[in-house]
Structure 1
């Protein structure tokens, strides 16, 4: 019972405090000012993000990617499938040794 009375008292105090809150007077253009500041900040971030990726850097990146692809393609053409499988099997110990081992 005592806890119910305490709870009722707390609820009443909460409602009384809500009634004492006064209305806040805000400028009619407050929202527009805030939204404009947010837009300006986001535009600055976007400009700073992409400003380093200039056309010269894009061209250099493209050339590097093309050169790496040509080198990889040439290396792929030079080696054969069987060589790759044999080297894989040897490196992981999966190949069968063709040498005969004589135990004394």
Structure 2
């Protein structure tokens, strides 16, 4: 029973403290001011998200892509289709053996 009395006292203390809280007075335009600040902050973030991709960096990226494509195309021209197919067939065991065996 002693714990029940202590619990009731704690509950009453909480209710008393809640009743003593006063109403907060807020400016009527508080929400509009906050929403305006959020909008301007989000516009600033969107503007700076692509600012790092400057024209100099775009040109450097374009040059790198073109050079890589030229190198890949030249490498592709050097190797022949038949060599690629035969190496693929040998690596996966798909090639037909031309050696004669005793069982043929």
Question: TM-score category by the smaller chain?
Answer: 0.5 to 0.7
TM-score, normalising length from structure 2?
0.63
State the alpha-carbon separation in 1 of the partners of residues 6 and 68 from structure 2.
76
TM-score, normalising length from structure 1?
0.63
Superposition deviation, residue 12 in structure 1: 1.3
State the alpha-carbon separation in 2 of the partners of residues 24 and 33 from structure 1.
18
CA RMSD, aligned part only?
2.5
Where do residues 1-104 of structure 1 align in structure 2 (5 Å cutoff)?
1-79=1-79, 80-81=83-84, 82=87
Deviating beyond 6 angstroms after TM superposition, the runs of 4 or more aligned structure 1 residues are: none
SS of the equivalent of 1:23 reads: coil
Name 2:101's counterpart in structure 1.
Answer: none
| Structure 2, unpaired ranges of 5+ | 92-104
Superposition deviation, residue 77 in structure 1: 4.5
State the alpha-carbon separation in 2 of the partners of residues 76 and 14 from structure 1.
80
> What number of residue pairs does the alignment pair up?
85
